Structure 1
Amino acid sequence: MSSIRLFVLSILSEHGPMHGHQIRNQAQSDHTELWTEVKVGALYGALRRLASEELIAEVRGERVGNYPERTVYEITRAGREALDVVRGQALRAVVVRPDPFDLALVHSGDLDEQQLEHVITDRRAALIAQEDSLRHQTEEADQWLTEAERMALAHLAARLATEVRWHDELLDRLPKIVADFRREA
């Protein structure tokens, strides 16, 4: 499931024909990068791919002032069908990706307890910083957010808080983990 595909098709379906810069501005005003995997810099490539798949179509070119001519796109009938499919998949899919950290942790028997504690403490601090940053950005943007966007951001904040709690438990269990490594060696 492609988040950027879902985003572009959704925006064109909701707002009608737009050029890439307008779609980019919409992503920025929605603070899309805060709560999705959509990267604003990838939008133009996505527009080209969607056009080549005939999910969107070029409607016209537009020139305003001294700006270069911009291609205006609209969603096609096939694009609306694809939007229904990708949105349906996204709404029904439960996505919890394995964290490569877990694999590295399980295979860290050659590290001493102090090294592991340092790594885990640093990760925990990074998660707290990310959680604080998200909270601050959400508060700053709150007046422009829809209730659905607020809930998406709250979902991400809850996941970060859960990660912090898990790291706390991991630090508590670290002596047992190191003892298991020693027994296995």
Structure 2
Amino acid sequence: MDVSSSRLFALSALARRGQMHGYQIRRAAQLDRTELWTDVKPGSLYNVLRRMTDEGLVEVVRTEKVGNPPERTVYAITARGRAELVSLRSAALGDVRLPPDLVDLALQYTEDLTSDELVEAIGKRRQAVAGQVALFEDEFRAAKPDLAGLEPLIFEHCLIRLRAELTWHDTVLSTLQEGKS
């Protein structure tokens, strides 16, 4: 089963927090910092909600307007949506494949680059990964007092994966440097 992160998040948010309008679900994604450790894009949640409504996984409970914001559609998860949530979560917890990384494909076809060009490209990429590690470490430190349940483990999982990427980049750079000598 191909698991949609956005579907899994939206159904989980509705199951956890009850009836919500799209902006509340989007805000929950931002507050939970899901964009740091998933591919959930808060702006895509509106389309996901519409599709899930068409499929009977969520239902429109009402439309409300409070103050100046536009009318907001309030959604609730259906029994069918709860079953879908269980199925999506089980699939996600059981999925152990490593998602493909485009760097591997790009490396396969670098014969037209000089050694220096390749070292420079990998070095820049390593710097970007190091920046992500620093960002996650800062976010983790700042968020730690407010994290609950398994959230600290999610941050640690992301950090371990990013640090492994740094180690791999160091290995690639070392191998490329040895090849130049």
Instruction: Report matched runs for 1:1-185 at 5 Å.
Output: 1-175=3-177
- Taking structure 1 as the reference length, what is the TM-score of the superposition? 0.91
- CA distance, structure 2, for counterparts of residue 103 and residue 177 of structure 1: 20
Q: Which runs of 4+ in 1 moved over 6 A?
A: none
After TM superposition, give the deviation of residue 48 of structure 1 in Å: 0.7
Aligned pair in 2 of structure 1 residues 28, 133: CA closer, same or farther (>3 Å)? Answer: same
C-alpha deviation, 1:65, in angstroms: 2.0
Query: How far off is 1:33 after superposition?
Result: 0.9
- Whether the 8 Å CA contact 1:109–1:178 is kept in 2: the answer is no
SS at match of 2:83: helix
Q: For residue 147 of structure 1, what is the amino acid of its counterpart?
A: G
Match for 2:76: what amino acid?
Answer: E
Question: Which string of whole-angstrom CA distances, capped at 9 and with x for unpartnered residues, describes residues 107-165 of structure 1?
Answer: 21221111111011111101000110111112122222223121111111111100000
Paired with 1:144 and 1:40, the residues of 2 have a C-alpha distance of: 21
What displacement does 1:68 show?
2.1
Partner Cα distance (1:17, 1:147) in 2: 22
Q: 1:102 to 1:21 in 2, by over 3 A?
A: same
Contact 1:30–1:145 (CA under 8 A) maintained in structure 2: no
Structure 2 counterpart of 1:93, which letter? D
Q: State how far apart, in whole Å, the 2-side matches of 1:178 and 1:98 are.
A: 28
Deviates more, 1:99-108 or 1:34-43: 99-108
Structure 1 unmatched runs, 5+ = 180-185
Compute the displacement of 1:98 (Å): 2.0
Scaled by the length of structure 2, what TM-score is found?
A: 0.93
C-alpha distance in 1, partners of 2:54/2:179? 52
- Indicate the SS of the match to 2:112: coil
Shift of 1:177: 5.7
Q: Is contact 1:17–1:74 with CA below 8 Å preserved after alignment?
A: yes
Shift of the alpha carbon at 1:106?
Answer: 2.1
Q: Secondary structure at the match of 1:57?
A: strand
Unaligned runs of 5+ in 2: none
How far the C-alpha of 1:86 sits from its partner, in A, is: 0.4
